[in-house]
Structure formats: C-alpha cells, structure tokens
Structure 1
Amino acid sequence: MKKSIYIMALGAFGIITTEFGVIGILPQLVKEFNISIDTAGLLLSMFALTVAVAGPFTNMLMAKVNRKTAMCLVLAIFVVSNLISAVAPNFTVLMAARILPAFLHPVFWAVSMTAASKQAGPKDAPKAIAIVMAGLSVATVIGVPLTTYIANLFSWQASFVLSAFINLIAFGALAIYSPSMPVDEQTANPKNQLKILSSTQLWVKFLICVIILAGMFATYGYLAEYLAKVSHMSGTQISVMLLVFGGAGILGNWLTGILLSKNIQLTSRVFLLLLVVMHILAYQFGGGFLSMVFILSVWGLIHTGGFLVANLLVINGIHGPSLDFVNSLLPSFFNAGITLGTLLGGFIIVRFGIHEVIWVTVPLLLLALGLSFITGTKKQPVVEKVAEPEPKTEELVCE
C-alpha cells in the first residue's frame, strides 16, 4: 500500500476525532457556558446536520479540483476551526467554529475513498478503502476517550488543541508525501453518476443507514452524561470507561469486518439485535458500577461496527462511477442519522431524564432491522432487465 493511503487514514482519524471528540466533554461545556445538556448536544447535531445538507453541494463544487489539493484544504480548515474552538469566549463562537469545517467534511470522505481505490489499483482497492475506513473506526473508539482524558487532565480547550495537532500532522504528511491526484473526468461526469439514483432499493438502503446511525447516536451522543448521572461515575472514571468502550470497539470493528465479508445481511441483522440487547441491559443495570463496566465492554465491541455495517449495506453490489458517487453521498446520510439521533436523544433527556434516552435507540434499531428484510431480495428488475446496457452503465445487485 502506498504511504499516502495511510496518510489519508490519519486525516480521517483527525476529522472524525474533531466531529465526535465533543461527546466526552459535553458535561464540562455545560458548566463552562452555563447551558443545558441538549443545547451542548447541538455541537454534535448541528455539525452533523451541516455535513448532511452541504455534502452533495460541496462535493459538486470540488469535483474538478485536484484530489490532493482538496484534501489538504479540508485538513487546513479543520486545524483552524479547532484552534478557534480552543479560544472561544462563548458558546456562539464555539458553535460557529464547529460549523465551519462541517461544510468540507464530506469532501475529504468522498475524495479519500476514491483516491485510495485508484492508487491501490483494482486488485487492492478493497484493502485500500478498508485502511482509510480504519481511520474513521479508530477515531470513533479512540478519539472520544482521548479527547475526554486530555480535557480532564488539562482543560476542555486542550482537547481542541489536540484535535488541531492531529489534523496538522495529517496536513503536513499529505502535502509532503502524497503525489498529485488529477481528477478523472470520466468519473466526475454527472451523467455516469446520477443513473444509480433511479434505484428504489438504494434509497431504502440510505434510509436504513440513517436509522442505524440515529439509533446508535441517540444514546452514544450522551454517553458521558449517562455515565455521570445514571452510573454516578467521576470525570476520570468516565474517561477510563470511554477508553474501555473504545478499546473493545477496535476488536469489534475487526471482527465485524470479517463477518461482513462472509454474509452482509446476516451479520447486519445480528449486529442490530445485539445492540438492542446491550441498550436494554444498560437501562436495567446501568446504575451499578461493575455491571456497567461489563456492559460497556460488550457494547463497545458491538457499537463500533455500525459505520462499517451501514456503509457496506449501502454500497454492496455497486461499482465504477456509481460507487464514487454513492461514496460522496454517504457522509450526508451518516450525519443525517447522527443529527436525528442526537436531537431525539436531547429531546427525551430534557423531558424525561437521561435514563430514558435508551428508549429512543431501541425502536430505531428494531425499525432498521425490519427494513433490512426489504433489501434482502436477490433481484432488482430495474437494472437486471436491461438486456444490453451501455458500457458505462453500472449494475446494482442487492444481496
């Protein structure tokens, strides 16, 4: 694998750490700015909403920009935004600093997926994409406890400085070691990309993707607050528990990848059922310290595979220019789900208490499970009935 692929994975780690790093410091921000927990949660949900809305447009605007230049620009914006966040005098400035990089977040995601695939070549493309995806996965399980630990050790400002430093390293490495990546005009042609949007099954898959992420983040987005109020843990204990959650998640992401390579549909359904079970156990036994340590370990093992599950459910059977286009849309649907989940979670917390947030997650995950059977058909008449497709037309084959 070319070193630039690993550099893109580091960039993904920095970007996702910036997005989710606030989860562990929400309680500190509540005290610092004298705001409610659901207002603090807007730092996550509004970031995600901006990504969801702006994604398709920013990707179109950057479609003809050299891929290396585009990724360097994104990382530079993330460095600046984190530094502004670190010195924000009030919540309004902090919110503005958070929204700024969200506009370009989906550009890095779509560009890195395509660039990694092309640099590795057809044979090693799946491996290259998995490496970049690993940056996202590791960030979701390590970035949150790391920023939480730094915030507890120094201050909440220090967590943003750390995120800025990670993005700065990725920016420098990408600028120095990565080759120029000119745009492939064939892939960038809208006519070759938009054909896939006529697939009804694809839109069902996007819906499942949104619901899965909403279910995951309705509770996970407020996990630090849950551990503080329900499990009665201190700030240090919370950072350790998030680290346990993340450490288990690294192993879980690896195991999920292996199982998904064997059977995407079955693995996805088992994943959803197990995640439902863990949330119910957390509701029932979350008040006990030792029981919550065990629950978090298993929960983390399962939770982290959610991004991989949602990603593969959507792109399964898609190839060529259509795959590039769908990859560019995924961040919007991922973040639409995160936005929906955190908003619903905050709504329930304010009205019924943090303990009841579990009951937002459970029905959402069960709904995603039910919808997964709709996409489980072997045939897709819209595509398969075409007798002689044009050379550039791609097929969508659902498992």
Structure 2
Amino acid sequence: MKRIHYLLALGTFGIGTTEFGVIGILPQIASAFATTIEKAGQLLSLFALIVAISGPFIMLLMSSLNKKKLMLFVLAIFAFSNVFSVFATSFNMLLVARLLPAFLHPVFWSIALSTAANNLANEQSSKGVAIVFGGFTVSSVIGIPLATLMASLFNWQSSFVLCAIINTISFLGILFFLPSIKTPEKQTISSQTKILKKPVLWISFFLSFLIIAAMFSTYSFMAVFLNTVTKMNGIQISWMLLIFGLTGVAGNWLAGFMLSKSILNTAFVFIIALTIIHLLLYFYGLYYIPMLLLISIWGFVHTAGFLIGNVNLTSSASESPEFVNSIFTTCGNAAVTCGTVLGGYFISSFSVQNVIWSSIGLLVLAFAVWIIKRFGNFE
C-alpha cells in the first residue's frame, strides 16, 4: 500500500477521535451540567445530523479546491473547536463548540476516501479504503479509551485537550508528509448529481443507513450500559473501550479482505453476526466476566460496519467518487443520529438494558433491505 493511505488514516484518526470521543464521557458531562444522558447524547447526535445535512452540498461547492489545503483547514478547525470546548461553562456552549467543525467534517472524509480508492487498482480499492478507515479504528483503540480515561483521572475537559492534541498531530503529519493531491478535472454539478437517478444507489443507501443506525443505537450508550447494567466504574469502562477497539483493528482488516471478494456476502455476515452479539449482550450484560469476552467479539464485528457501509454504497456509483463519498458521509451521520436518538428513546421509555432491542430491530430491517438488493434488479 502507498504511504498516502497511512497519512490519510492519520487524519481520520483525528477526526474520529473528536466526533466519537464523547461516547465514553457522556455520564461525566451529564453530571457536570446537571442534565440527562439523553440530552448529553445530543453532543453526538446533533454533530452527526449537521454532517448528514451539509455533506453533499459542501463537497459540491469545494470540489475544485486544493485537496491538501482543504484537509489541513478542516483539521485546524477541529483542533480549535476542542480548545473552545475546554472553556465551556454551560451545556449549550459546549454543544456550540462541538457543532462548529461538523459542517466541514464531510470535506475531509470525502477527499480521504476517494483518494484512497483512486490510488489503487479497482480490485484493491477496498483495501485502500480499509486503511483509511483504520484511522477511525485506531481512534477507537487509542483516542476514545484515552479520552474516557482522562475524564476518569482528571476531568471531562482533559478529554477535549487530548482531542485538540490529536488533531494538531494529524495536521502536522498531513502538512509535512502528505504530497500534493492532484485536483481532478472539474465536474459540473449536473454531471455529478446524475448518479442520484440510479435506483441501486438508493437501495444501497438504505442498507448502509440501517446497518450504521443499528450499530450506534446501542454503541452510543456503551459507557452508560457498562456503568448501569454491568456496574463498571470509569477506569474499567476505559479498559473495555480499549479492548473493543483493539479487536476492531482485526475486524476492520478482515472486512477489507472479505469485501474484495464479495460486498453483499460480507454485509450478510455482518448483519447476522451483529444481531447475535446484541442478543448475547442483552442476556449476559449483567455479568462482568461474560462481558469481557462479549466486548472483544462486539468490537471485532462492530468496527467493520462503517467500512462495509461505505463500500456497499460507493460501489454503486464509482463514476463520481467524491460526490458519492459525500453521500455516504450524509448516510453514515444521519444513521448515527437516528440510531442515537432511537437508543435514547429506548433508554428513557424502558431501561438502559433494553436499548439492545433498538439495534436488533434496525438489523432486522437491514436484513430485509439486503434481501431486496440481493434478489432485485436495480441496474
């Protein structure tokens, strides 16, 4: 693989840590601002919603600009927003600080993913994309658990200091070591948006949406689940997140290999495996020792979901790579929002343990759409 893939992964590491680092510290933030877990979850869900809404439009407007400079600008804004978050004196102020970089998030992801795919032959492109997604996986392994640990050892503000440092390191790595990315011949808006007429794009969109929504309906409240149901403390939860991320590295690699063989078969295996894991989480989530094993398996399967969702969607419109990747960014973040809101509803209406059923319901719907795509003719 080319060095460019690993440098792009460094950038996604910074972006991923900022977006999802709050997952492990939602209980501390809710306590600090005397608010509910459901409201604290807005730090994730509203961030994702803004990304979902702005994605395609922002990318269309900026498609002709210098790619490297755009990515550097995005990372700089992310670093600034984390510094701003440190000084938040109210929940609304923290929410504003979190939402500032969300508008530019799709720019980095779209450029990074399309560049990764275009720098390798078609049959190897999914492996290149897997490396870039590996940056997000490593943020799960290192960034998210460290953010949780920092909050447990010091305070919730220290988590945002960590995120600012990570974004700065990513900025410097891209600045000094990433070669200039060739700007492709400018495409008109109409030439890019014509892919929206393809039925296969939309069935792929809904499949990816349901897969990712199912992932985050429970995962967004993982720290809350481990604290309330499994009775773990903050340090134990940070270790669980570390185990979750470590096994996710292997799962992400395996998914990249499987996707190069068959996209639909990989999606099928993922849906079935994640459904089984959530059922086991519901029945054994109360027990500490079984959860150690389940967290490992959950991380192995879960982390591959974003990669599977991306390749499933982007393979349906490879003629317009940056625009279709911006559509995936919308798809993925809208799914995160939907999953988080649905999970929050299940927690407030039933219990933390019953949040599992929100994910299982979405996975059943994903399987139904998979059947439609597998046996339908949408070309």
State the TM-score bracket (shorter-chain normalisation). Answer: over 0.9
The aligned runs of 1:56-75 (5 Å cut-off) are: 56-75=56-75
**Equivalence for 1:41:** 41
The answer to whether the aligner puts 1:264 opposite 2:263 as a matched pair is yes
Shift of the alpha carbon at 1:358?
0.7
Structure 2 Cα separation of the partners of residues 125 and 255 of structure 1: 15
**Equivalence for 2:223:** 224
**Equivalence for 1:392:** none
- Stretches of structure 2 that go unaligned for 5 or more consecutive residues are none
Q: Closer, same or farther in 2 for the Cα pair 1:92/1:380, shift >3 Å?
A: closer
The aligned runs of 1:274-353 (5 Å cut-off) are: 274-320=273-319, 322-353=320-351
Q: Closer, same or farther in 2 for the Cα pair 1:294/1:5, shift >3 Å?
A: closer
Query: Residue type of the partner of 2:337?
Result: T
Contact preservation (8 Å) 2:130, 2:253: no
Residue range with higher mean Cα deviation, 190-199 or 114-123? 114-123
The answer to whether the aligner puts 1:363 opposite 2:361 as a matched pair is yes
Shift of the alpha carbon at 1:75?
0.4
Structure 1 Cα separation of the partners of residues 155 and 124 of structure 2: 43
Structure 1 Cα separation of the partners of residues 318 and 350 of structure 2: 46
Shift of the alpha carbon at 1:121?
7.3
Q: Closer, same or farther in 2 for the Cα pair 1:341/1:123, shift >3 Å?
A: closer
Structure 2 Cα separation of the partners of residues 60 and 163 of structure 1: 28
Q: Closer, same or farther in 2 for the Cα pair 1:241/1:127, shift >3 Å?
A: closer
Contact preservation (8 Å) 2:47, 2:102: yes
Q: Deviations over 1:255-312 (max 9, x none)?
A: 2222222222122112111111111111111111111111111111111111111112
Structure 2 Cα separation of the partners of residues 348 and 55 of structure 1: 28
Shift of the alpha carbon at 1:318?
3.5
**Equivalence for 1:174:** 174
State the secondary structure of the residue aligned to 2:26: helix
Shift of the alpha carbon at 1:145?
1.4
Contact preservation (8 Å) 1:137, 1:307: no
Structure 1 Cα separation of the partners of residues 128 and 217 of structure 2: 31
Contact preservation (8 Å) 2:60, 2:189: no
Query: Residue type of the partner of 1:331?
Result: T
Structure 1 Cα separation of the partners of residues 375 and 141 of structure 2: 33
Query: Residue type of the partner of 2:276?
Result: V
Structure 1 Cα separation of the partners of residues 121 and 289 of structure 2: 48
Shift of the alpha carbon at 1:125?
4.9
Q: Closer, same or farther in 2 for the Cα pair 1:286/1:117, shift >3 Å?
A: closer
Structure 1 Cα separation of the partners of residues 248 and 54 of structure 2: 29
The answer to whether the aligner puts 1:252 opposite 2:251 as a matched pair is yes
Q: How many residues align?
A: 379
Residue range with higher mean Cα deviation, 142-151 or 217-226? 142-151
Percent identity reads 45
- Stretches of structure 1 that go unaligned for 5 or more consecutive residues are 382-399
**Equivalence for 2:374:** 376
Structure 2 Cα separation of the partners of residues 123 and 199 of structure 1: 22
Q: Closer, same or farther in 2 for the Cα pair 1:181/1:209, shift >3 Å?
A: same
Contact preservation (8 Å) 2:204, 2:316: no
Shift of the alpha carbon at 1:317?
4.9
State the secondary structure of the residue aligned to 1:114: helix
Structure 1 Cα separation of the partners of residues 171 and 347 of structure 2: 38
Residue range with higher mean Cα deviation, 132-141 or 79-88? 132-141
Contact preservation (8 Å) 2:9, 2:133: yes
Contact preservation (8 Å) 1:141, 1:304: no
The aligned runs of 1:110-121 (5 Å cut-off) are: 110-118=110-118
Structure 1 Cα separation of the partners of residues 107 and 264 of structure 2: 29
Query: Residue type of the partner of 2:229?
Result: V
Shift of the alpha carbon at 1:329?
1.2
The normalised TM-score by structure 1 is 0.90
Residue range with higher mean Cα deviation, 146-155 or 214-223? 146-155
**Equivalence for 1:100:** 100
